[in-house]
């Protein structure tokens, strides 16, 4: 396999990944409250998981009577330190009523929280969640267009040829 073929395959794989991210985040960004599933009850289990190099904090939540483990992005670990995680966990455990709007996403094999309310206090806002997904979809789409254009114009395919040292110059 030549270097040009390798570059082409890498570019194709990158475009497929960006296309998938664009479609998935676009789908998540257009969900309305009527299209989401709802659950209300007490918290059975709550935990926090840092993910990735950027140490994103993901809330893992199980409500009574809901067969799924709900997960929601809370932010980077720097803005959501362990002390804040502990106070949120305590608030969720002691809440008499927790309300969640979520979507079962079979493509990503996860259940995504769009809105989370504990005793009337909104902890994860629906509008904020959909806005994050819309922005992510837009960024993925822009990157998709840039890389598709770059691949089409072969900006990354071949280096510029070096000029010959002893070439004759036209007079």
pLDDT, one tens digit per residue, over 119-138 is: 989 888 878 777 888 888 88
Residue closest to 141 by CA, chosen among 29, 11, 19, 14: 19
Residue 65 has pLDDT above 80, yes or no: yes
Question: What does each C-alpha distance from 66 to 24, 73, 134 come to in angstroms?
Answer: 24, 19, 27
pLDDT digits (tens, 9 = 90+) for 8-42: 888 889 899 999 889 888 887 887 888 888 999 99
Q: Hey, CA dihedral for 44, 48, 52, 54, is it positive or negative?
A: positive
Angle made by CA atoms 126, 134, 85, in degrees to the nearest 5: 45
For residues 67 and 57, give the distance between their C-alpha atoms in angstroms, rounded to a whole number: 23
d(CA 168, CA 30): 62
- The pLDDT tens digits for 67-102 are 888 988 888 888 888 888 899 899 999 998 999 998
* DSSP code of residue 73: E
Residue extents of the structural domains in the chain: 3-153
């Amino acid at each position: 396999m030549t270097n040009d073929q390798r570059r082409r395959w890498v570019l194709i794989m990158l475009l497929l990944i960006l296309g998938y991210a664009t479609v998935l985040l676009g789908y998540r960004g257009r969900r309305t409250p009527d299209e989401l599933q709802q659950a209300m009850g007490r918290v059975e289990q709550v935990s926090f998981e840092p993910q990735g190099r950027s140490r994103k904090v993901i809330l893992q939540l199980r409500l009574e009577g809901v067969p799924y483990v709900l997960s929601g992005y809370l932010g980077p670990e720097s803005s959501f330190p362990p002390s804040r995680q502990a106070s949120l966990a305590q608030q969720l455990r002691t809440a008499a009523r927790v309300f969640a709007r979520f979507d079962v996403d079979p493509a990503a094999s996860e259940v995504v929280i769009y809105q989370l309310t504990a005793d009337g206090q909104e902890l994860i806002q629906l509008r904020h969640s959909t806005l994050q997904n819309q922005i992510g979809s837009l960024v993925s789409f822009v990157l998709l267009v840039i890389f598709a254009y770059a691949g089409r114009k072969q900006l990354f395919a071949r280096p510029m040829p070096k000029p010959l040292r002893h070439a004759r110059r036209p007079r």
